[in-house]
Structure 1
Amino acid sequence: MQLNAGRITTHVLDTSKGVPAAGVRIELYVVKRSGDVESSRKVAESLTNTDGRLSAPLLREGMLEEGEYELRFHVDRYFAQEAQTELVHVLWTVVPIRFAVMDAVSHYHIPLLIAPGGYSTYRGS
Structure 2
Amino acid sequence: MNYQPSQNDIVNEYIENLSAEIAPLFLEIRACILEAGPEFNESIKWKNCLVYGTTKNHIQTVVGKGKISLIFHDGVAIEDAYGLLEGDGKKARTVRITSPDFNRAALQDYVRQILQRS
More strand by share: 1
Higher RCO, Cα 8 Å, sep 6+? 1
Give 1 or 2 for the bigger CA radius of gyration. 1
TM-score normalised by structure 1 residue count: 0.30
Please give the TM-score of this superposition, normalised by the length of structure 2: 0.31
